[in-house]
Structure formats: C-alpha cells, structure tokens
Amino acid sequence: NAGVTQTPKFQVLKTGQSMTLQCAQDMNHEYMSWYRQDPGMGLRLIHYSVGAGITDQGEVPNGYNVSRSTTEDFPLRLLSAAPSQTSVYFCASSYRGSAYGYTFGSGTRLTVV
Amino acid sequence: QQQVKQSPQSLIVQKGGISIINCAYENTAFDYFPWYQQFPGKGPALLIAIRPDVSEKKEGRFTISFNKSAKQFSLHIMDSQPGDSATYFCAASGGADKLIFGTGTRLQVFP
C-alpha cells in the first residue's frame, strides 16, 4: 500500500549510542519532514527537505542529522543519544510547495536509558 | 516559542454534544490552517483545512471557523460520537513547506 513507512516501530538505546530512524515514501512526494511528539508539547519539527539533496533545520534540530539522497528516503540520525531524546518520532511527506495534506508514518517510539 | 497556541488541553463531551477546540496564532504570514486527528498508536491524519480568505468551512460534522482579525481559528465537531475520541492538533503554515503544530487537545466522547 502507498504511504509513509517508518522503521523500527520501537527502539531502546543507551545514552551515547547512535542510531538511524528510517523513513520511506512511495508517493513521489518532494517534501519530507521529521517531527517529534512529546506529551503537552504537540508535534515539533526537527528537520525537513524540499527535495533530493536539500535539507533544512526545523524548531528542534540539535542532536539530529538528516540527508536526502533520493526522493523516497529521508533517514534521521541520532548522533549520541540522550534521555531528552526519548520521544515518538513521526516522518511526514507531501507534494512540493505544499504543507497541505501531509501523509504521516505510524511513528517510532524511542526510549533512551 | 509557541507560534500556535491551542486550548483546551483536554475535553470531555457527551455523545451528541458539540466539541469546540480553539487555536490562536501570532504570525500574520500564515496562510493555511489545517486540523489533524490522531488515534492512539497512529500518525496524525488530515481532517479539514481552511485558508484565510474564508471565514468558515464545513465538511460533514466538522467545521472550521476562522477570525483573521483576531488571529484565531477553531474546530467544531457537531453531534460528537465516541468514534471521534482522539487527539486533535491545529496547525499553521506560511506558504513555506513546514507546518507548525499546536500542543494538541485530547477529546473524549462518552455515550
């Protein structure tokens, strides 16, 4: 089925470890983004991309890296995990020039101990 | 800095009642205001959206009211049903690609 696929669904990391959250979409959407969701804080934008080879920072980029080598994939890298990065992470995509009608993935629940 | 403020944080409504969620924004460059619905364990899904050139948009039981001068917009759910129980997020965008979300409202509809 078409949509946004996120892997893994759950992950536990130790402080200081690194990992990559995967996001792939098969709708040929130019725009992709990563959000984190924390209780009482809504969805906060981490990084976004308007096309292959182009990325930019959102509201809370510190501690995260992204790259966009293809239209389909937009991985999020945690460089050195910290307990403050415990959260649910969502990837979203849409057509270019349009924040309209984001398609969200089902999320990755990350716990850093 | 919260650019989109949402209230209330939680809302309990009886079946058949009206649910009202309010949002306020600061940036006058925002020109697109969607609402998203999220069920537990799922990603948010677009529910309804409005542009500032209209004051109201209705889709079924869901209505957005928009007040440009007050920089406020709200979601009304008429004849609320238990299946409407979810978390609702307002959001805003200023022509760029990125959406700024409110903090969310957890709606519970009791039979």
pLDDT band at B2 (very low <50, low <70, confident <90, very high): low
Among the partner-chain residues B6, B44, B100, the one whose CB lies closest to the CB of A104 is B44
Six-digit token string for A68: 């966009």
Is B101–A101 a contact, with Cβ atoms under 8 angstroms apart? Answer: no
Cβ-Cβ contacts under 8 Å for B105 (sequence gap 6 or more): B6, B7, B8, B9, B10, B11, B21, B87, B88, B89
Q: Are A74 and A34 in contact (CB under 8 A)?
A: yes
CA distance A111 to A99: 29
Per-residue pLDDT of chain A (113 residues; tens, 9 = 90+): 679 999 999 999 999 999 999 999 999 999 999 999 998 889 999 999 999 999 999 999 999 999 999 999 999 999 999 999 999 999 999 886 655 678 999 999 999 99
pLDDT band at B97 (very low <50, low <70, confident <90, very high): low
Residue type, A79: L
Q: Name the residue with tokens 């924040």.
A: A99
Average pLDDT over residues B63-67: 96
pLDDT at B55 (0 to 100)? 94
Q: Kindly state whether B40 is in contact with chain A, defined as any CB-CB distance less than 8 angstroms.
A: no
CA distance A53 to B96: 18
- At B7-38, the pLDDT tens digits run 999 999 999 999 999 999 998 889 889 999 99
Size of interface A-B (CB pairs under 8 A): 64
pLDDT at B1 (0 to 100)? 55
CA distance B83 to B75: 16
Q: How far is A15 from chain B (nearest CA, A)?
A: 25
Is A101–B43 a contact, with Cβ atoms under 8 angstroms apart? Answer: no
Q: How far is A3 from chain B (nearest CA, A)?
A: 12
Nearest C-alpha in A relative to B90: A42
Nearest C-alpha in A relative to B51: A100
Q: Kindly state whether B46 is in contact with chain A, defined as any CB-CB distance less than 8 angstroms.
A: yes
